[in-house]
Amino acid sequence: MSVLDAPPEGGAPPADGGGEGAETPRPAGYRKPRRAWSTRGFTAALTALLLGGVAGTLLFFGIAARLEHTQQWAYDVLDWVQTHQWTDRWVWIGGTVAAVLGAWLLLLAWTPGKRHLLPLEPVGTDMTAHMTRRTAGTLLRHTALSSTGVLDARVRVSRRKALVRVDYHFRDPDELHDELETALRERADALLLARVPFVDVRIQPTSGR
Amino acid sequence: MRRVLNRVLLSVVGLVLLVGGLAVVARSRGWFHDQLGSVLHTAHKPLITPSQTERLVGHGWWWWVAFGAPGLLLVICVWWFFAQFRRRPVKTIRVADTSSDAGGGPSGLGTGFGMVGDDADTITVNGYALSDAIEDDLERTPDVESVHARLVRRRHGPRLNVAVRTEAGAEPRAVLEAIRDEAVEHGRGAVELEYLPVFVELRTARGLPRRRIE
Domain match, B46 and B101 both:
no
Task: Name the average pLDDT for chain B.
Answer: 85
CB contact under 8 A, A120 and B202: yes
B202: pLDDT strictly greater than 60: yes
Superfamily in which the A117-205 domain is placed by CATH = ANL, C-terminal domain (3.30.300.30)
CB contact under 8 A, B80 and A48: yes
Which pLDDT tens digit goes with each residue over A51-75?
Answer: 999 999 999 988 888 888 888 888 8
Domain match, B50 and B103 both:
no
Domain C-terminal end among B83, B102, B122: B83
Number of A–B residue contacts, CB under 8 Å: 244
Domain match, B147 and B210 both:
yes
Whether the CB-CB separation of B176 and A127 falls below 8 Å is answered with yes
Which pLDDT tens digit goes with each residue over B158-189?
Answer: 899 999 999 988 889 999 998 888 888 888 88
A194: pLDDT strictly greater than 60: yes
Residues 6+ apart with CB under 8 A from B188: A7, B195, B196
pLDDT at A20: 42
pLDDT grade for A165, boundaries at 50, 70 and 90:
very high
Shortest CA distance from A145: residue in chain B: B208
Strands (E), B59-169: 92-96, 122-126, 144-154, 157-166
Domain with residue B119: its CATH number is 3.30.70.1350
User: How near does any CA of chain B get to the CA of A110, in Å?
Assistant: 7
Instruction: Evaluate whether ipTM surpasses 0.85.
Output: no
Start and end residues for every CATH 3.30.300.30 domain found in chain A? 117-205
Q: Which of B17, B74, B186 sits opposite A102 (nearest CB)?
A: B17
Q: How many CB atoms lie within 10 A of CB A39?
A: 16
- Kindly list the residues from chain A whose CB atom is less than 8 angstroms away from the CB atom of residue B11: 105-106, 109-110
Q: What residues does B95 pair with on adjacent strands?
A: B123
Domain match, B48 and B121 both:
no
Name the residue with higher pLDDT: B174 or A6.
Answer: B174
Domain match, B123 and B210 both:
yes
User: How near does any CA of chain A get to the CA of B10, in Å?
Assistant: 6
Percent of chain A residues topping a pLDDT of 90: 62
pLDDT at A110: 95
For residues A153 and A202, give the distance between their C-alpha atoms in angstroms, rounded to a whole number.
10
User: How near does any CA of chain B get to the CA of A157, in Å?
Assistant: 14
pLDDT at A125: 81
* Domain boundaries, position B153: 89-214
Domain count, chain B: 2
B204: pLDDT strictly greater than 80: yes
Mutation for A interface: B2, B4, B28, most A CBs within 10 A: B28
pLDDT at A167: 93
Whether the CB-CB separation of B114 and A96 falls below 8 Å is answered with no
Q: Give the mean pLDDT of A88-103.
A: 95
CB contact under 8 A, A130 and B24: no
pLDDT at A98: 97
pLDDT at A182: 95
Query: What is the pTM for the complete model shown?
Result: 0.80
Amino acid at B41: H
Angle at A19 between CA A15 and CA A25, to 5 degrees: 60
Domain C-terminal end among B60, B83, B106: B83
pLDDT at B107: 57
Domain C-terminal end among B59, B83, B107: B83
For residues A161 and B18, give the distance between their C-alpha atoms in angstroms, rounded to a whole number.
35
pLDDT at B118: 54
Which pLDDT tens digit goes with each residue over B61-105?
Answer: 888 898 999 999 999 999 999 999 988 888 888 887 777 666 665
